[in-house]
């Protein structure tokens, strides 16, 4: 009799612990955000700018954990392998989620994650020094047709977003530019300033910082800071290339948890302090909820796959 | 005078109580992390970066700068005491510094390093104040061919580092270069020598290699040959340099400072090359080059001065152009961005208080460092009195913590252990690790710039000699090679005649 009661009790206890999901009380302990780049990098600063406000709206502390290495794929695999309970989230740019799966043998893919929201986004800007011969896209294309493969285009490494922008422009305009890869944007800008390369494309804030000429914007629309600079699309080539950071959780995370995280993410982006921090760092807030961002990121994944494979950069 | 009014403005900013405090904290912190092997300024500044969200920008940057040059100061301490270079630049200091320590002259070596650094720091600060805009233009004169030539020169100088056979040290440089090529190829994005081990996709970290080859292998060999082990502590004579030491060290310091101030401006390893270059230069100029590697005081003073001047000079391209010459400077730029300040060509005119305040604080910081470090010399030397049975586990623990802190990976700790064993084997067959380390650092840089040069010139090698700057550098390199080869050739002929 006693035994039966005991079994019953255990059964009930087990049932309760499984029925009552973590979401009912989520979050009951601190949440770890994986950033797959070193502290102080661009992605890290996005995460740390959000950290406090996100923690406040979740009612729990948010910890940033840097797991750098291998173009962000080490940290991203760690996030993919984490328990899908909402206590491990990933803040990442598009590289590890939409580009690297086409380039490396990885233990994860985009489908290993559920999107929560898009945080910030900015279009890449095609730039050159003010003394450049190519003041417009038309100049550039005419010159590239005259001398294929002679005009040099610096990037921050093969397969990086700056390289994808170059590939997309080449494909759309049917031209050939010379790819000169660098270890990061600082090296590429130095090369631009020392006239080692002709062109480079990256975040807009480099333009005023180094007194450069914005030739065109890889965005949907013109940017408020460069009203006179046309988009690449306006010049007749449908190329859009943006740099965005987003929050993901491992696939299979309970819906209630995802909803809660989504709300917290929106609340955090509305926080005045976050707006101020992102404003100073010139990260334009571009919130998208889980549903909208899912469509967006999946389309991006396909587009990047085509670009990478067409350029022969895919995994062997 | 513009300069004086500017400096007055700078000191006005730097001498406020608050900024003095930040400067002191930075210098103190920098010394501490410099002394702890493996925990470098890069990791520390990265960790402290979020805190600076809450500070005002001038104070924050003064503190971060203090950490950077403080670490350069502190880094030589472990290199001298226990042959453990925690920073790439202190690899050279370890060569003769550690030998001095073994001869009971640890105090002299440490004091020399501190004084040489102080002198170099002061001179470099003046150089920045007077010539920052002019020197920053030099960084833009350097394109891929010039960098290739500079790296080549550095590699040739690396061969001079060794005391033993030239063939062995060329071999070491080659092995170092091969190790340096592990990781993702920059031009194609392909993996090289990684065998699908994701931990080395970005290559092996310098600290892992240096700590293994120097620190761990030193411990192994100390434990292996017990009877020959002479503890330096047994015969420490004095702490401060004698008049003769001073006379030997002073000219080396001045030459090192000059080299560092010039080369430090160049992005990508300029400051590092300067400490190697200074060592080679001193060895060349010495009346008795055989003293080097056996505790020559010039071998400590010159490179230490070059290294510190170089560290300070690396602020020039960062402040004047917004171009970071090394990873630490890139973080400084991140710190500025957090505060909405954009370093770049307009920084000097837009933010004069910040610019001159930082420069003035560097001078104050150097003063703080020397005041802080000279009295500590006695304390550090006392550490050597700890019996080796207690000392070596401590060193090992610090090595592990330091290596782990780079990427928070246990894998790196095992890798360091592997390099320790490898380093011990090298010692047993009479090969020295210093040229290997230099090959490891310069090899990948040389490859990157060399391939970029040929990519841009469509495979035409003539660019190296048609551009005046690169032609000059290549000329110097060839000269160095000839100077090195001549005595060997002569010796070779002599032995040939004898047969």
Rounded mean pLDDT of A275-294? 88
Backbone angles phi, psi at A109, to 5 degrees: -145, 180
Of all residues in chain A, the one with the smallest CA distance to B143 is A196
* One domain for residues A146 and A278: no
Q: Which residues of B touch A69 (CB under 8 A)?
A: 198-199, 201-202, 407
Q: Helix, strand, or coil here: A66?
A: strand
* One domain for residues A117 and A189: no
Q: Who wins on pLDDT, B56 or B257?
A: B257
Say which residues have a Cβ less than 8 Å from residue A29's Cβ, sequence separation at least 6: A60, A87
Nearest to B366 by CA among B56, B130, B126, B58: B126
pLDDT at B53 over 80: no
Whether residue A194 lies within 8 A of chain B, CB to CB, comes out as yes
**Partners of A285 in beta bridges:** A120
Residue A22 lies in a domain: no
Choose the final residue of a domain: A235, A259, A284: A235
Q: Which residues of A touch B455 (CB under 8 A)?
A: 178, 180
Contact A73 B198 (CB under 8 A): yes
Nearest to B61 by CA among B402, B358, B449, B488: B358
Whether residue A207 lies within 8 A of chain B, CB to CB, comes out as no
Residue A286 lies in a domain: yes
Contact A210 B53 (CB under 8 A): no
Residue B72 lies in a domain: yes
Please state the length of chain A: 316
At residue B177, the pLDDT reads: 92
Res. B63 pLDDT band, cuts 50 70 90: very high
- How many angstroms separate the CA atoms of B159 and B300, rounded? 18
pLDDT at B165 over 80: no
Choose the final residue of a domain: A209, A235, A261: A235
Contact A186 B324 (CB under 8 A): yes
Backbone angles phi, psi at A269, to 5 degrees: -70, -20
Nearest CB partner across the interface for A196, out of B144, B184, B189:
B144
* One domain for residues A60 and A98: yes
CATH number at residue A140: 3.40.190.10
Contact B142 A194 (CB under 8 A): yes
Residues 239-298 of A with CB under 8 A from B: 277, 279-281
At residue B496, the pLDDT reads: 44
Residue A39 lies in a domain: yes
Model confidence over B444-480: pLDDT tens digits? 888 989 999 999 999 899 999 999 989 998 998 888 7
The residue whose two tokens read 């002019």 is B134
Instruction: Give the minimum alpha-carbon distance from A7 to chain B in angstroms, rounded to a whole number.
Output: 44
- How many angstroms separate the CA atoms of A166 and A184, rounded? 15
The pLDDT > 90 percentage for chain B reads 20
Instruction: Give the minimum alpha-carbon distance from B115 to chain A in angstroms, rounded to a whole number.
Output: 33
At residue B270, the pLDDT reads: 65
pLDDT at A9 over 60: no
Residue A13 lies in a domain: no
Nearest to A267 by CA among A57, A52, A47: A57
pLDDT at A277 over 60: yes
pLDDT at A296 over 90: yes
Quote the crossing angle between the two packed helices A42-58 and A272-281, to the nearest 10°.
180
Whether residue B193 lies within 8 A of chain A, CB to CB, comes out as no
**Which two tokens mark A81?**
């392998």
Q: Which residues of A touch B55 (CB under 8 A)?
A: none
Instruction: Give the minimum alpha-carbon distance from B267 to chain A in angstroms, rounded to a whole number.
Output: 9
- How many angstroms separate the CA atoms of A125 and A2, rounded? 74
Q: What 8-state DSSP symbol labels residue A212? A: P
Could you give the number of structural domains in chain A? 2
The pLDDT > 70 percentage for chain B reads 91
Residue B56 lies in a domain: yes
Choose the final residue of a domain: A212, A235, A258: A235
Domain that holds residue A87: 31-121+244-310
In whole numbers, what is the pLDDT of chain B averaged over residues? 83
Q: Helix, strand, or coil here: A129?
A: coil
pLDDT at B160 over 80: no
* One domain for residues A45 and A111: yes
pLDDT at B492 over 70: no
Q: Who wins on pLDDT, B45 or A8?
A: B45
Q: What 8-state DSSP symbol labels residue A226? A: B
Domain that holds residue B270: 2-141+203-424
* One domain for residues A225 and A283: no
* One domain for residues A47 and A134: no
- How many angstroms separate the CA atoms of B241 and B110, rounded? 10
Model confidence over B261-290: pLDDT tens digits? 888 877 666 667 788 888 888 887 888 888
Could you give the number of structural domains in chain B? 1
Under 8 Å between Cβ of A162 and A245: no
Q: Which residues of A touch B201 (CB under 8 A)?
A: 69-71, 73-74
Residue A45 lies in a domain: yes
Res. B190 pLDDT band, cuts 50 70 90: confident
* One domain for residues A48 and A137: no
* One domain for residues A255 and A186: no
- How many angstroms separate the CA atoms of A215 and A206, rounded? 13
pLDDT at A260 over 70: yes
Q: Which residues of A touch B187 (CB under 8 A)?
A: 158, 181
Res. A126 pLDDT band, cuts 50 70 90: very high
Whether residue A196 lies within 8 A of chain B, CB to CB, comes out as yes
Residue A78 lies in a domain: yes
Residue B450 lies in a domain: no
Rounded mean pLDDT of B29-51? 77
Whether residue A45 lies within 8 A of chain B, CB to CB, comes out as yes
Contact A45 B330 (CB under 8 A): no
For A32, counting Cβ atoms within 10 Å of its Cβ (0-12 exposed, 13-18 middle, 19+ buried), the class is middle
Q: Who wins on pLDDT, B428 or B341?
A: B428
Least confident stretch, A120-124, A137-141, A232-236, A309-313 = A309-313
Residues 37-96 of B with CB under 8 A from A: 45-47, 49-50, 53
* One domain for residues A58 and A84: yes
Say which residues have a Cβ less than 8 Å from residue A166's Cβ, sequence separation at least 6: A153, A155, A177, A179, A201
At residue A1, the pLDDT reads: 45
**Partners of B47 in beta bridges:** none
- How many angstroms separate the CA atoms of B360 and B45, rounded? 21
* One domain for residues A136 and A215: yes
* One domain for residues A109 and A130: no
Per DSSP, helices labelled H in A82-151 are 94, 137-146
Full DSSP string of B95-124:
HHHHHHHHTT-HHHHHHHHHHHHHHHHHHH
The pLDDT > 90 percentage for chain A reads 48
Residue A316 lies in a domain: no
Whether residue A129 lies within 8 A of chain B, CB to CB, comes out as no
Residue B456 lies in a domain: no
At residue A149, the pLDDT reads: 92
pLDDT at B497 over 80: no
Model confidence over A194-242: pLDDT tens digits? 899 999 998 888 888 888 999 999 998 888 888 899 999 999 998 999 9
* One domain for residues A91 and A74: yes
Res. A24 pLDDT band, cuts 50 70 90: low
Least confident stretch, A92-101, B258-267, B483-492 = B483-492
Cis preceding linkage at A27, omega within 30: yes
Nearest CB partner across the interface for B47, out of A39, A186, A196:
A39
| Region of residue A74 (phi > 0: left; psi between -120 and 50: alpha; otherwise: beta) | alpha
Of all residues in chain A, the one with the smallest CA distance to B451 is A180
Instruction: Give the minimum alpha-carbon distance from A155 to chain B in angstroms, rounded to a whole number.
Output: 10
Q: Which residues of A touch B202 (CB under 8 A)?
A: 68-70
Residue B154 lies in a domain: no
Residue B192 lies in a domain: no
Model confidence over B386-435: pLDDT tens digits? 888 888 888 888 888 888 877 778 999 999 999 999 999 998 898 888 88
Q: Which residues of A touch B445 (CB under 8 A)?
A: none
Which contiguous run of DSSP H or E holds residue B191?
A: strand B191-192
Whether residue B455 lies within 8 A of chain A, CB to CB, comes out as yes
Say which residues have a Cβ less than 8 Å from residue B450's Cβ, sequence separation at least 6: B144, B148
Residue A266 lies in a domain: yes
Rounded mean pLDDT of B110-127? 90
Q: Which residues of A touch B199 (CB under 8 A)?
A: 69, 74
Under 8 Å between Cβ of B373 and B121: no
CATH number at residue A277: 3.40.190.150
Of all residues in chain B, the one with the smallest CA distance to A152 is B456
- How many angstroms separate the CA atoms of A56 and A62, rounded? 9
Q: Which residues of B touch A48 (CB under 8 A)?
A: 50, 53
């Amino acid at each position: 009799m006693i035994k039966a009661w005991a079994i019953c009790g255990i059964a009930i206890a087990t049932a309760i612990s499984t029925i009552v999901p973590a979401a009912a009380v989520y979050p009951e302990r601190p949440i770890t955000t994986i950033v797959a780049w070193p502290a102080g990098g661009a992605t890290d600063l996005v995460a740390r700018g959000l950290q406090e406000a996100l923690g406040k709206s979740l009612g729990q502390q948010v910890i940033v954990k840097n797991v750098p290495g291998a173009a962000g794929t080490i940290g991203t695999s760690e996030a993919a392998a984490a328990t899908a309970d909402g206590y491990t989230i990933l803040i990442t740019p598009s590289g590890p989620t939409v580009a690297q799966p086409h380039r490396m043998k990885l233990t994860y893919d985009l489908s290993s994650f559920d999107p929560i929201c898009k945080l910030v986004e900015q279009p890449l800007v095609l730039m050159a020094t003010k003394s450049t011969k190519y003041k417009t896209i038309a100049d550039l294309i005419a010159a590239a047709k005259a001398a294929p493969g002679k005009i040099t285009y610096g990037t921050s490494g093969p397969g990086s977003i700056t390289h994808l922008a170059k590939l997309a422009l080449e494909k759309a305009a049917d031209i050939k530019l010379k790819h000169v890869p660098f270890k990061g944007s600082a090296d590429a800008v130095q090369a631009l300033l020392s006239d080692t390369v002709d062109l480079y494309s990256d975040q807009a804030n480099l333009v005023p910082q180094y007194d450069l000429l914005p030739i065109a914007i890889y965005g949907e629309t013109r940017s408020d800071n460069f009203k006179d600079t046309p988009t690449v699309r306006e010049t007749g080539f449908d190329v859009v290339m943006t740099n965005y950071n987003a929050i993901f959780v491992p696939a299979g995370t309970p819906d209630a948890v995802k909803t809660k995280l989504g709300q917290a993410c929106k609340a955090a982006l509305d926080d005045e302090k976050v707006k101020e921090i992102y404003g100073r760092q010139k990260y334009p807030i571009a919130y998208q909820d889980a549903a909208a961002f899912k469509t967006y990121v999946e389309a991006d994944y396909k587009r990047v796959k085509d670009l990478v494979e067409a350029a022969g950069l895919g995994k062997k | 005078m513009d300069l004086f009014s500017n400096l007055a403005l700078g000191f006005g900013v730097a001498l406020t109580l608050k900024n003095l405090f930040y400067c002191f904290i930075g210098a103190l912190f920098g010394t501490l992390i410099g002394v702890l092997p493996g925990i470098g300024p890069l990791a520390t500044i990265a960790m402290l970066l979020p805190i600076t969200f809450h500070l005002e920008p001038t104070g924050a940057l003064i503190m971060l700068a203090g950490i950077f040059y403080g670490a350069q100061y502190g880094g030589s301490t472990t290199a001298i005491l226990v042959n453990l270079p925690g920073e790439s630049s202190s690899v050279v200091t370890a060569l003769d510094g550690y030998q001095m320590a073994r001869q009971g002259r640890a105090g002299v070596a440490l004091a020399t390093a501190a004084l040489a650094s102080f002198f170099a720091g002061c001179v470099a600060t003046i150089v920045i104040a007077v010539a920052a805009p002019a020197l920053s233009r030099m960084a833009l004169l350097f394109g891929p061919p010039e960098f290739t030539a500079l790296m080549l020169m550095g590699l040739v100088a690396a061969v001079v580092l060794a005391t033993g056979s030239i063939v062995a040290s060329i071999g070491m440089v080659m092995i170092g270069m091969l190790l340096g090529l592990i990781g993702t190829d920059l031009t194609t994005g392909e993996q090289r020598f990684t065998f699908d081990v994701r931990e080395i996709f970005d290559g092996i970290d310098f600290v892992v290699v240096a700590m293994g080859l120097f620190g761990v292998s030193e411990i192994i060999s100390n434990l292996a040959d017990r009877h020959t082990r002479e503890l330096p502590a047994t015969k420490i004579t004095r702490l401060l340099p004698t008049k003769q030491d001073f006379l030997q060290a002073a000219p080396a310091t001045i030459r090192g400072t000059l080299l560092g101030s010039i080369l430090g401006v160049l992005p990508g390893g300029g400051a590092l090359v300067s400490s190697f270059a200074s060592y080679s230069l001193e060895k060349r100029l010495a009346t008795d080059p055989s003293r080097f590697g056996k505790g020559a005081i010039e071998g400590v003073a010159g490179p230490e001065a070059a290294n510190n001047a170089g560290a300070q000079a690396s602020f020039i391209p960062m402040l004047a152009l917004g171009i970071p010459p090394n990873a630490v400077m890139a973080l400084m730029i991140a710190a500025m961005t957090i505060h909405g300040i954009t370093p770049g060509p307009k920084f000097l005119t837009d933010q004069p208080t910040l610019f001159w305040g930082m420069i003035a604080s560097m001078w104050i910081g150097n003063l703080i460092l020397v005041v802080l470090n000279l009295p500590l010399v006695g304390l550090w030397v006392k550490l050597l009195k700890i019996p080796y049975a207690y000392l070596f586990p401590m060193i090992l623990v610090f090595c592990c913590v330091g290596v782990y802190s780079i990427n928070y990976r246990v894998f790196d700790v095992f890798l360091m252990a592997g390099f320790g064993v490898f380093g011990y084997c090298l010692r047993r067959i009479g090969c020295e690790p210093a040229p290997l380390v230099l090959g490891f650092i310069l090899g990948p840089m040389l490859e990157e710039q060399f391939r970029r040069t040929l990519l841009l010139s469509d495979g035409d090698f003539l660019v190296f000699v048609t551009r005046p700057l690169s032609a000059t550098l290549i000329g110097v390199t060839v000269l160095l090679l000839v100077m090195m080869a001549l005595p060997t050739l002569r010796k070779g002929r002599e032995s040939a005649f004898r047969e």
